[in-house]
Structures are given as structure tokens and as C-alpha cells.
Amino acid sequence: MKAIATITRTKEIMARHDLSFKKSLGQNFLIDVNILENIVSKAGVDSETVAIEIGPGIGALTEQLAKKAHHVYAFEIDGRLIDVLADTMSPYSNVTVTHEDILNVDLKQFIAEHVPSDKRVKVVANLPYYVTTPILMKLLTSDLPIESITVMMQKEVATRMAASPNTKDYGSLSIAVQYYTTSNVIMTVPKTCFMPQPNVDSAILQLNVRSEPYVDVIDEDLYFDIVQASFGQRRKTLRNNLKRVFSDLSAEELDQVFLASDIDSKRRGESLSLEEFAQLADAIHPFVRS
């Protein structure tokens, strides 16, 4: 039987189940088998891997994962697709589909209950554009026992996540992702590889989860508060951005913060490395968390 990720098979499945694409859920189905095989290969999925997939659609990527993985757990928010997946995944006994919004799932508990302790857990998914960032931040901040996250997303968002300081794409999202992972854009995917075609090209981003965060800080929540504040108005200096958010601090206290962190208050957030944000967060800590 032809792979699901072909124009003819996708059309046939959709016609058989009287399906239409749901724009509100960002549904664009991939119709290039080679790209899917490449994703699975780059993700390092093998018989010792339990794969978690988010938004399987009609099962194009799920099918390729099932051929390699020990087991695939796929979470699908669209109830119309549950019967479709039961049909398309019927040849694979190692696929479990759950009708659930991934943002409402306690993944830590799910993994503890379903994944054998001797298996590696990897997230592999073609993420809907409209909810890419919330899903990734949930995966990164939930202290999950996962090894890597290999996901397709809007090319522009992938570029931002992998961006370096002093570039226009570098921002709070870049720092959040790099704090928890090493990030690498492993390939780009033109919009012509989808049905229907989206308005933008996609990219596949691989995030390898760090055993420990990239920097050690006194207060992680404060660290990210500082990051968010520093990019609140990109064209403003660190001092002006921090003064706006930490309004209880006096001018003299802000002077002490920048002196203790050894960071020039006239710099902008986009010029700071993750280490420098850690210095700034630890320096401000005594003043805002006392």
C-alpha cells in the first residue's frame, strides 16, 4: 500500500472519511514521504524509542514512526480524526492514539504510567503553527524524562528559537529554548510539500534536552522575568526596560544591580548572552526577592 504522505493516498483517505481541512487547527498535511523518513532518521528513532507525537492528523508521520519505534503515543485534538487514525494505523499494533489537547495532558504522569524504564522517550511532531510556542514551552518546563524534541514548525519561528545574540531573531523565545536544550535547524521544508499549501515555508528544529539548564541561577522564575523585561521594548536600554518592569527599585538600587552584574546599563537585551542574563538576575535578586 502507498504511504499516507502522497497526494493520491491523502485525497483517498479524506474522501473516504468525508474530511475537510480545518484552518482553525492549522491543518496542513505533508505529502512528501522522503521528508518524513528524514525526520524519523534525524530524530534517531529506533526499536528502543518510545515516540510521542502531537497532532498526527491522518497519520502520515505516525506511520513512519511506527515502522521504527518501539511504540508511538499520538495525541490528537480533532475528534474527527480519531476514526480516521483508527483506520490508517490499523496495520500497526504499536500505535496508541489519544483524543486530547496536549496542553491539557499531564505528560510526566503519562510517561511514568506508559513508558518502560528501559526505553528512551523522544517527541517527534509536525506542530500546528498557531500553537507551536505554547506546546514547546510546556514540554521544556514540565521536567519530562525526554531525550529530544524534533519538530516541524514555521521556518521563521525555528530561526528565532535557534538564534544567537546580536541578531534580529534573538529574543526571549531563543533564550527559553536554549536554556533547556541545544537547538539546531536540521532542514527546511518548502510549502509545496503540504496539502493545502500554507503561506510560509517550514523548518525542522531539533532540540536535545540538557541534563541541567545551560546556566545556574538563584531563582529561575526571576531569570525569565528579567529576560522578558529586557525584550519588552527592544529598542530601549536594559536600564529603561528594567525600570519599567521593576518599578519599586530606586535609581540607586538599579545602579548597584548593574555594578554587581558588571553589565553596562546602556546595552540592549538582544546583546546579552544567557550567562549575562544569569548575572543580571542574580544581582537583582536581593532587591526584589527579599
79 a known binding residue? no
Does residue 225 sit in helix, strand or coil? helix
**What DSSP character marks residue 210?**
P
Tell me whether residue 101 is annotated as binding.
Answer: yes
CB hemisphere CA count around 236 (13 angstroms):
13
Task: Assign 3-class secondary structure to 36-51.
Answer: HHHHHHHCCCCCCEEE
**How many CA atoms are closer than 13 Å to the CA of 254, on its beta-carbon side?**
19
For residue 38, say whether it is annotated as part of any ligand binding site: no
Sheet containing 71-76: give its strands across.
95-99, 71-76, 49-54, 120-126, 148-154, 202-209, 181-189
Q: For the chain, what's the residue count?
A: 290
Q: Which of 30, 13, 125 is CA-nearest to residue 75?
A: 125
CA distance 284 to 245: 12
Task: Indicate left, alpha or beta for 55 from its phi (over 0: left) and psi (-120 to 50: alpha).
Answer: left
Locate 18 and state its grid cell: 468525508
Residue carrying the nine cell digits 538576575 = 281
Q: Is 212 annotated as a binding residue?
A: no
Indicate the burial class of 243 (C-beta count within 10 angstroms; 0-12, 13-18, 19 or more). middle
Is 26 marked as a binding-site residue?
no
Say if residue 126 carries a ligand binding annotation.
yes
Annotated binding site for S-adenosyl-L-methionine: 28, 30, 55, 76, 101, 126
Annotated binding site: 28, 30, 55, 76, 101, 126
